[in-house]
Structures are given as structure tokens and as C-alpha cells.
Structure 1
Amino acid sequence: MFLAGIITGILISLGLVFLLAPKLMFSVSESKYDFATTKALIEKATPENKWSMPHQYDLQATMKKHGFDVKAVTVYSICKPDIAVKILGADDNRHISAMMPCRIAIYEKADGKTYIARMNAGLLAKLLGNEVNAVMGDAETGSEKILEQVIKK
């Protein structure tokens, strides 16, 4: 009976992780503005907050080149070098570079509204340890500051 209880508990826990983890891994917020205005405000706020935007991806245009028609989607890669160097400068943490730079996706849905999606860096940081936790926490705080003027509360 005891063993059955432990196994049942483990199975329920694993089931919850598989159901909830995908929703917890990303933060999605509705924008107060249309797609073009949301893009313009984020592009303006990024350097104002001393972040850089090394890459911008127009996924709608990319898909169109391959014969597919999708609603507007733009993904920004944003970076703050004084935060990034804390990960990239340490051999033990350099594998975290697979999640760098920070990404922000802006997209439209069929409801006509614009949404902003990004990785839940705070949650991931908690899973990765103390030093990485602090660095990713700083990155999350900074990127959320860039988004605060467009996110609908």
C-alpha cells in the first residue's frame, strides 16, 4: 500500500509537470497597442534602457518566402552586455548561452489583438543555480522594464 501511494504520487507529480510546465516556461501578455505601435515602442525602449537589439526577425516575411501565409510575427533578440558577460565569462556557465540573447516575440492572433511573448527567465533561473539565478533575474527585470509601457495590465 505504501509503495502504491509513492508511485501514485510520483505519477501525479509528473503529470502535473507535463501539463503545467509549457505554460510556465513562457510569459505572454496582451499589448495595449496594435502590432506596428507595439514594435515601434519596444524598438525605442530597448536602447533607452541601455540594451541592444542585435537581431530582428520578421517571421511573416520569412514564411512568405517559403510559400506560407501567417499573421504578423516579429522576434527581437535583445542583449545587455554587462549582464551577458557574467554568463559568457565563466566556463561553468557558458552552456547557458544557448538561451542568449533574450528573445521577445510580438505577434497577432485571429482576435486582432497583439501579444508579447518571452521566456520566463525567472522560473528558469531558479532551476539553474545561484549565480545564474541572479544574472537571469537581472536580465528578466531589465527586459520587463522595456516592455512595461506596452503590456496591458
Structure 2
Amino acid sequence: MKGLTLFLTGLILGVAATIFIIVAILPKHMFIEHESKLSFNETVDAVANSAIENKWSMPHKYDLQATMKKHGHEVNPVTVFSLCKPELAYQILKNNDVRSASALMPCRISVYEKDGKTYISMLNAGMLSKLMGKKAGKVMGAASAGNEEIVKTIIQ
């Protein structure tokens, strides 16, 4: 009976620790946020130029401040870039086993202002890649590294 009690206690503590990690710790690491050393407009231009220099295509660029204004809401400047590295995207799109990872495509980089400073953020695809299978994880890890490369000269 003592062994069963010890087992159940360990199981309950393990489940509680896992829930704590998922609820309290993981959300803080879902996104990578960097302060830019440039102004908002300079950062937007620098991200666009760096993406091109690093051979990423930019299917869309969203001015969310303008979008919100059309709907009667005032927000600080926010620009979101949808970025694609065709060689990486092809690795996901050609393979039916990992095609579900296309929900994370294209990669996004956001530039925004808060507290008088300019920031750049993106999904932490490198962390998420560790939770995916081998094929999708490899591609998402490479995409994360590519996004970091795009912003490395812009951040402080």
C-alpha cells in the first residue's frame, strides 16, 4: 500500500509540475521580443531590407495601425511582415506527413511601439520546433534561425 501511495503522490506531483510549466513558463517563451536600436520607421525599413538581403520573400506587409483606424480604433504603430523562404516552405508543403505545420506559415515578424520604444517580435519557432516531429522540427528550426538573422543587426 505504501508503494502505491508513493507512486500516486509522484504521479500527481509530476502532473502538477507539467501543468505549471505549460501554464506559467511556456507562454513567456512563446515569443521572442527584442528592442530595436532604430526608430519605428527605420526598423520597418531595416526589416524589409534585411529580409530581401537574406533571400526571404515578403508576400505581405500589414499596417495594423491603419487597419484599426479604419475600424474606429486608435493604436500605436504596428507593422507585421509575412516572410517566406521558399526552400524551407517547400520542405513542409511537399510532404503530406508534415503539411499540418503549414498553419505556422509564413513566418511573421512584428515591429511595434510601446513605452516610447520600438520593438521587434516573432514566434519562437526554434522552441516550437523541439515539440514537432523530426521533419517539421528541422524546417521550423531553420526558419527561426533565419528570422533571427534578419533582425540581428537591428536589435540592441
Superposed pair shares fold, TM > 0.5: yes
Task: Measure how far apart 1:20 and its partner are.
Answer: 1.1
Name the SS of the counterpart of 1:97 in structure 2: helix
Aligned partner letter, 1:60: Q
Q: Give yes or no for the alignment of 1:57 onto 2:65.
A: no
Match of 2:128 in 1: 124
Q: Give yes or no for the alignment of 1:137 onto 2:141.
A: yes
Match of 1:78 in 2: 83
Larger Rg: 2
Map 1:4-23 → 2, pairs under 5 A:
4-23=9-28
Name the SS of the counterpart of 1:128 in structure 2: coil
Name the SS of the counterpart of 2:25 in structure 1: helix
Name the SS of the counterpart of 1:127 in structure 2: coil
Aligned partner letter, 1:37: E
Moved more, 135-144 or 73-82: 135-144
Q: Give yes or no for the alignment of 1:32 onto 2:59.
A: no
Task: Measure how far apart 1:136 and its partner are.
Answer: 1.1
Task: Measure how far apart 1:8 and its partner are.
Answer: 2.7
Moved over 2 A (4+): none
Map 1:96-107 → 2, pairs under 5 A:
96-107=101-112
Task: Measure how far apart 1:21 and its partner are.
Answer: 1.3
Q: For residues 140 and 10 of structure 2, what CA distance do their matches in structure 1 show?
A: 37
Aligned partner letter, 1:73: V
Aligned partner letter, 2:14: G
Task: Measure how far apart 1:4 and its partner are.
Answer: 2.7
Unaligned runs of 5+ in 1: none
Name the SS of the counterpart of 1:151 in structure 2: coil
Aligned partner letter, 1:83: L
Q: For residues 17 and 57 of structure 2, what CA distance do their matches in structure 1 show?
A: 43
Q: For residues 20 and 134 of structure 2, what CA distance do their matches in structure 1 show?
A: 28
Unaligned runs of 5+ in 2: none
